[in-house]
Amino acid sequence: MAISHLHCLQSVRVAFPCRPSVSNNYYYGRDNFTRKCSSLVYASTNNLNRDLHLQSKVETVLDSVKWDDRGLAVAIAQNVDTGAILMQGFANREAVATTVSSRKATFYSRSRSMLWTKGETSNNFINVHDIFLDCDRDSIIYLGKPDGPTCHTGSETCYYTPVFDLLENQQDKEDKLALTTLYSLESTIAQRKGELEVPQSGKPSWTRRLLLDEKLLCSKIREEADELCRTLEDNEDKPRAASEMADVLYHAMVLLALKDVKMEEVLDILRCRFSQSGIEEKRSRNSQA
């Protein structure tokens, strides 16, 4: 692994950085010998020692990974805010080392027998905030923030083929992303919003009523927040608190749909506010002032 892979490592250590810079192509080149040499010529002895120390540490971590007989481990890229599994590939030592230094999810292509950084063609990089190994040390999570759709098809993630739908001959339907509960709910609300112009017979759904009546929606949000508070004030039981929180979340998400705000944007804000220890409270206090 080239030393040049490592000299930004110190700055890497922010577990959940906010809005990481997108354009950092310096570290992707496979032929960075010239850059390495020139950077080393000008590097101070301290920097050089630091680089060597870091390189040694990275090598130790890489030594601890149980690479398979092809020198590979499974690498899964996951959206740090939504939890969506974006894609899965394989990584060798160099791919992980490159990901550590560049903070762009990098894999080893088995078909092309070469490294590849997701986004090097599409510019839809996955900006890696943290990397996790599993208990057996043969599986890796790149936890990061994608710059755009991850799949080469333009889909947000590569997982959009639901097996149970295939078994029900629903393969002609639109692709369905593998959504977890919060985003499945968000998707349902968005669907209802998209149907607002379509006349409907019978009693309108509750979501439809909320979407059509802002006054009703806002009164419900205030009411549910009040009921959540009363679970604490009146010492109500846990299931009641969970249920009231579910009400708050659902009604607030209907409002977000009307404002065209995604939960991912909300979580992005929360990550930026709370991810850096110590800064959390100060920012929050300032915002209360």
> According to CB under 8 A, which residues from 8 to 67 bind its own copies?
9, 12-13, 15-16, 54, 57-58, 60-61
Least Å distance, CB 89 to its own copies, is 9
Return the residue of 1, 18, 40, 267 that touches its own copies, per CB under 8 A.
267
Q: Does 273 bind its own copies (CB under 8 A)?
A: yes
Stretch that binds its own copies, among 20-28, 114-122, 193-201, 250-258 (CB under 8 A): 250-258
Q: Which residues in 159-178 contact its own copies (CB under 8 A)?
A: 159-164, 166-169, 178
269 binds its own copies (CB under 8 A): yes
Q: Can residue 87 be called a binding residue for its own copies (CB under 8 A)? A: yes
- CA separation for the pair 129, 80 (Å, rounded): 8
- Which of the residues 140 through 159 are near its own copies (CB under 8 A)? 141, 143, 151-153, 155, 158-159
Distance CA 84, CA 170 (A): 23
Binds its own copies (CB under 8 A): choice among 18, 22, 43, 249: 249
Residue showing tokens 């997982």: 159
In contact, 149 and 124? CB cutoff 8 Å: yes
Six-digit token pair at 92? 């060798």
The string of DSSP codes covering 249-283 is HHHHHHHHHHTT--HHHHHHHHHHHHSSTTHHHHH
Q: Which of 152, 88, 142, 144 is nearest to 120 (CA)?
A: 152
User: In the bound complex, what is the minimum distance in angstroms from residue 25's beta carbon to its own copies?
Assistant: 22
Q: What is the DSSP letter of 91?
A: E
The site map against its own copies for 101-120 (x = CB under 8 A) is: --------------------
Please give the structure tokens belonging to residue 78: 């996951």
